[in-house]
Amino acid sequence: MKSHSAFASLLLFAATASASENIKIEYRPAETADDRFAAQVIESSEVNDIFVQLSDDYFPFDNPLTLTYGGEDGPLYDPETHTIHIPYTFYLESFNYFTNNKYQERYGKSPKTGALDTLLHTLLHEAGHAYIADQNIPVLGKEEDAVDNFATILLIDYVDDGADVAISAADMFAFESDDRPDYYDFGEYIDEHSFDLQRYFSTLCLVYGSDPEQYKALLDEVEKDYLRDRKEFCQFNYGNIRDNWLHYLQDNELKEK
């Protein structure tokens, strides 16, 4: 890890540098050693480059978007400032989930990879909110579900090995669900988000639907009585959701699978 003073200089530079005319990326000063570690991992990864390139190519903003790392709020999109907020703790908490669930041993992916995959999916999720606001896209239904789909479709169709990235993000939903009590508070039933376990299966459904042969075992957790029906639905659902979002993406030529 770089020294504190050298890393502080890096943060000061990054805070004033624009990733592109479309998205400006800022890093708030990291207040703890853990935050400094998270900031360094994020900055040295390819996550921001992939995120910015996807936006430049497929969902450019009329009003430039700001992505701010650090602080206590988030992950969230603030429509008043047209800013995505991602706290450093989000990466750290994700990393801990993947570590505690022995991701390397069970799936051959490092906790770092799982956490960065989750970060990229989350950035695209929040960017979905921003793009809907920026382009005045009508949403019939839960916007949170719509932008989950936005993030997953972009990963599957436009990012190399993006389906595996989406699977990591889905696993994070499952880990969070496992970490909850066996009941929900009444307020959670009218929350804007679907339940974590629903988000897990919805993401896997899109991945399976995109390539049933490659991911034929992905839905094996589903009871056998429902499995055939769900597999057929997921193939339809992937095509339907992809086609709907293609109406709003700027360059909708799909990558070769």
> Per-residue pLDDT tens for 33-49?
999 999 999 999 999 99
Contact 250, 59 (CB under 8 A): yes
> Per-residue pLDDT tens for 132-178?
999 999 998 889 999 999 999 999 999 999 999 999 999 998 888 76
Reference 94, options 34, 164, 6; nearest CA is 34
Identify the bridge partners of residue 26 per DSSP, sorted by sequence position: 68
Contact 108, 128 (CB under 8 A): no
- pLDDT of res. 182: 56
* Residue 108 CB neighbours (<10 A): 8
Q: What is the pTM of this model?
A: 0.86
Confidence of residue 58 (pLDDT cuts 50, 70, 90): very high
